[in-house]
């Protein structure tokens, strides 16, 4: 209040004694016309500068635009008069206008605006070249000595620091791996045209990658199907003759800028992401839009501290995919390693073992000192179990604030297709927290195993209760690989109906037929289906397992309800807790 009064009083006294300052527009025009001498121009510069500083001191500035024009015109007039005195040459009006543009362009760091604005004031084309030279020179010198405009410096003095926005935006910051959808619906190259049309009818997608032996060999879209119909292709023609072979792909580490270029240049709607010949994801235009929206709002969400990789040992990368096995219990390492090795050998995959060293939430994983030697010993023990059967094996140790976060990061970095981990089928708060982090952050298939034997090769009689959902289908798809340690197996697929429910339909027949084809030749005839009617589903499945003397149970569970089932108790948890055989709990990826 006092500062404002002082500033107002001093300004009033100045205007009372200096009449020219009462008309700011007339003052500027007189300077721009070149009618001012050196004493007058210096006087205007000093008085106007003093009044501007006085207003800023009182925190009631009237702006910087008009004062900067007056300062520039005054300085230009002084330079013109000095040149006229010393050299006998001078163009006061040109110098004043050029000084006006140069001063404003240097202060506001807007050279093009300054040139255009002063030119619009005069509409004199002869002024363009002097303006360009003076404004550009003033801008470059000012930017070298004091980067940033005067407005930015005033904001910093007020405690407001504007963040620097990269010129390239998010296009060079994000990679294909961060944008892609990691789980992809694919079609096999040996599909027929009729089966492909059915797959399009069941899905909302307009295109599918085509794989053969785990490798990407092509892509098929609705356009390909329309062209096949126009050519009157037979329904039994192989998909390999309809698809687009050798599609354009990107690597996980490619930038979003390259992805956008390929999508735009080749007019594509989707791009497969391939790592070591293995399809790890797919990117569509909607994925890019989603990533941009998430990036713009990331500052409003609390960031999770990622895990810190402190140890890693690699074998030759010879597999088409990865089975990730978290290890923590020395007693279960041999059986987990044998199971993972059998699955990886059947798939042509690699095995990656990981161990998470958990630190307190207040500690940063990158700054905490921990002893990782015990973890390395566990991993090396597991790794040797797999290497002895000729399967590539890797291992890594991560420091994290949660075990689930460490496993999820390991799954992401290794592009894991499947996570296999042991489970004691007991309500354990620590295990529940680990599973929660893994379910929320991981996007690959998850298999929890409660072992009743230390020898996976002894699991010969398998029971698969189904309800027709995607997790039941995934359980049937994984069964040939879960049982890969055995050359002779028998499988019972059962559906338990409650009283009043309709009899089982034929919707699982294609899945069961594919199961028969995927099993070893000696076991294809050993797949039977049964249907039971019971009010107690848990008891019915347990009785069936006991009557068939099953060695293993395979249950499907949705990802959304997996944690609540394990913690609160539900059908899969009750079966696993009461069953005396080995239990596999399968959770399909997102």
Query: H-helix or E-strand containing 433?
Result: helix 429-441
pLDDT greater than 60 at residue 100 = yes
Domain membership flag for residue 546: yes
Quick: pLDDT tens for 232-282: 888 889 998 899 998 999 999 998 889 988 988 888 888 999 987 788 889
Pairing status of strand 350-358 against strand 393-400? parallel
pLDDT greater than 60 at residue 73 = yes
CA quadruple 42, 43, 48, 51: dihedral, nearest 10: 130
Distance CA 543, CA 582 (A): 15
In this structure, are 411 and 459 located in the same domain?
no
DSSP helix/strand/coil, 553: strand
pLDDT greater than 80 at residue 460 = yes
272 phi, psi to nearest 5 deg: -70, 145
Of 49, 40, 32, 52, nearest to 131 by C-alpha is 32
> DSSP secondary structure string, 335-360?
HHHHHHHHHHHHHT-EEEEEEEEE--
Domain membership flag for residue 568: yes
pTM beyond 0.85, yes or no: no
In this structure, are 325 and 276 located in the same domain?
no
The number of domains in the chain is 4
Distance CA 428, CA 420 (A): 18
Query: H-helix or E-strand containing 5?
Result: helix 2-17
In this structure, are 281 and 320 located in the same domain?
no
Q: What separation in angstroms does the CA of 502 have from each of 122, 173, 499, 505, 510? A: 89, 54, 9, 8, 20
Residue span of the structural domain in which 126 resides: 2-157
Of 395, 393, 381, 384, nearest to 326 by C-alpha is 395
> DSSP secondary structure string, 555-587?
EE--HHHHHHHHHH--HHHHHHHH-SSEEEEEE
Q: Which residue has the tokens 């409650």?
A: 498
User: Residue 159 — very low, low, confident or very high, per pLDDT cuts 50/70/90?
Assistant: low
Q: What separation in angstroms does the CA of 31 have from each of 20, 35, 53, 346? A: 12, 6, 21, 88
Domain membership flag for residue 181: yes
Average pLDDT over residues 64-80: 75
Instruction: Report the CATH number at residue 330.
Output: 3.40.50.620
Domain membership flag for residue 163: no
Quick: pLDDT tens for 519-542: 776 665 578 888 877 777 788 888
Could you tell me what percentage of the chain is helix, strand and coil, using 3-state DSSP and rounding each to the nearest 5? 50, 20, 30
Instruction: Tell me what the pLDDT averaged over the chain comes to.
Output: 78
pLDDT greater than 60 at residue 558 = no
User: Residue 28 — very low, low, confident or very high, per pLDDT cuts 50/70/90?
Assistant: low
The pLDDT of residue 149 is: 77
Domain membership flag for residue 330: yes
Which among 449, 480, 497 is the end of a domain? 449
In this structure, are 153 and 6 located in the same domain?
yes
Domain membership flag for residue 168: no
In this structure, are 190 and 278 located in the same domain?
yes
In this structure, are 282 and 344 located in the same domain?
no
550 and 462 Cβ atoms separated by less than 8 Å: yes
Percent of the chain with pLDDT over 90: 14
User: Residue 387 — very low, low, confident or very high, per pLDDT cuts 50/70/90?
Assistant: very high
The pLDDT of residue 565 is: 43
Which among 128, 157, 186 is the end of a domain? 157
Of 175, 213, 215, 177, nearest to 411 by C-alpha is 177
In this structure, are 437 and 478 located in the same domain?
no
Distance CA 121, CA 119 (A): 5
In this structure, are 354 and 501 located in the same domain?
no
In this structure, are 138 and 197 located in the same domain?
no
Percent of the chain with pLDDT over 70: 75
Indicate the burial class of 289 (C-beta count within 10 angstroms; 0-12, 13-18, 19 or more). exposed
In this structure, are 102 and 48 located in the same domain?
yes
Domain membership flag for residue 306: no
In this structure, are 503 and 388 located in the same domain?
no
Instruction: Report the CATH number at residue 276.
Output: 3.10.580.10
In this structure, are 467 and 584 located in the same domain?
yes
Which among 399, 417, 449 is the end of a domain? 449
503 and 531 Cβ atoms separated by less than 8 Å: yes
Q: Which residue has the tokens 């995934």?
A: 474
Distance CA 41, CA 487 (A): 101
The pLDDT of residue 59 is: 64
Average pLDDT over residues 321-343: 90
Quick: pLDDT tens for 101-118: 888 888 888 888 888 888
431 or 335: which leads in pLDDT: 335
User: Residue 567 — very low, low, confident or very high, per pLDDT cuts 50/70/90?
Assistant: very low
Domain membership flag for residue 167: no
CA quadruple 67, 70, 74, 77: dihedral, nearest 10: 150
The pLDDT of residue 563 is: 41
340 and 382 Cβ atoms separated by less than 8 Å: no
DSSP helix/strand/coil, 293: helix
């Amino acid at each position: 209040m006092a500062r404002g009064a002082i500033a107002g009083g001093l300004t009033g006294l100045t205007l009372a004694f200096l009449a020219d300052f009462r008309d700011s527009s007339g003052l500027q025009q007189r300077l721009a016309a070149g009618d001012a001498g050196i004493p007058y121009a210096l006087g205007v510069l000093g008085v106007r500068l003093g009044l501007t500083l006085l207003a800023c001191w009182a925190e009631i500035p009237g702006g910087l635009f008009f004062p900067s024009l007056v300062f520039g015109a005054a300085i230009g007039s002084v330079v013109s008069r000095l040149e006229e005195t010393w050299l006998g040459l001078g163009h006061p009006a040109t110098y004043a206008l050029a000084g006006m543009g140069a001063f404003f362009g240097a202060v506001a760091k807007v050279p093009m605006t300054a040139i255009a604005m002063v030119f619009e004031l005069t509409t004199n084309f002869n002024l363009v070249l002097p303006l360009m030279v003076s404004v550009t020179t003033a801008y470059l010198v000012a930017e070298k000595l004091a980067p940033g405009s005067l407005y930015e410096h005033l904001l910093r003095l007020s405690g407001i620091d504007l963040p620097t926005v990269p010129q390239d935006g998010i296009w060079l910051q994000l990679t294909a791996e961060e944008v892609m959808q990691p789980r992809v619906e694919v079609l096999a190259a040996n599909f027929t045209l009729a089966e492909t049309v059915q797959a399009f009818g069941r899905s909302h997608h307009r295109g599918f990658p085509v794989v053969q032996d785990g490798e990407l060999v092509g892509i098929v879209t609705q356009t390909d199907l329309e062209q096949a119909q126009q050519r009157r292709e037979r329904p039994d023609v192989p998909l390999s003759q309809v698809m687009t072979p050798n599609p354009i792909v990107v690597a996980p580490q490619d930038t979003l800028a390259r992805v956008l270029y390929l999508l735009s240049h080749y007019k594509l709607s989707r791009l497969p992401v391939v790592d070591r010949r293995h399809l790890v994801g797919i990117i569509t235009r909607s994925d890019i839009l989603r990533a941009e929206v998430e990036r713009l709002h990331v500052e409003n969400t609390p960031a999770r501290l990622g895990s810190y990789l402190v140890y890693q040992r690699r074998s030759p990368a010879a597999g088409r995919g990865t089975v990730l096995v978290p290890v923590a219990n020395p007693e279960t390492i041999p059986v987990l390693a044998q199971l993972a090795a059998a699955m990886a050998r059947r798939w042509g995959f690699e095995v990656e073992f990981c161990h998470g060293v958990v630190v307190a939430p207040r500690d940063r994983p990158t700054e905490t000192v921990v002893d990782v030697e015990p973890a390395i010993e566990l991993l090396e023990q597991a790794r040797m179990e797999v290497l002895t059967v000729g399967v590539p094996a890797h291992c890594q140790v991560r420091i994290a604030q949660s075990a689930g976060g460490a496993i999820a990061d390991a799954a992401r970095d290794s592009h894991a297709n499947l996570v296999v981990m042991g489970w004691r089928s007991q309500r354990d708060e620590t295990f529940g927290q680990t599973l929660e982090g893994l379910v929320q952050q991981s996007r690959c298939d998850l298999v929890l195993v409660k072992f009743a034997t230390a020898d996976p090769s002894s699991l010969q009689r398998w029971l698969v209760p189904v309800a027709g959902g995607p997790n039941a289908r995934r359980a049937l798809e994984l069964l040939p690989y879960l049982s890969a340690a055995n050359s002779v197996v028998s499988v019972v697929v059962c559906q338990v109906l409650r009283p009043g429910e309709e009899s089982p339909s034929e919707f699982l027949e294609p899945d069961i037929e594919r199961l028969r084809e995927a099993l070893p030749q000696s076991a294809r005839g050993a797949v039977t289906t049964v249907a039971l009617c019971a009010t107690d589903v848990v008891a019915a499945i347990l009785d069936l397992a006991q009557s068939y003397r099953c060695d293993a149970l395979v249950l499907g569970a949705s990802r959304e309800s997996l944690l609540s089932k394990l913690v609160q108790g539900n059908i899969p948890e009750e079966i696993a807790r009461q069953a005396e055989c080995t239990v596999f709990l399968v959770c399909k990826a997102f």
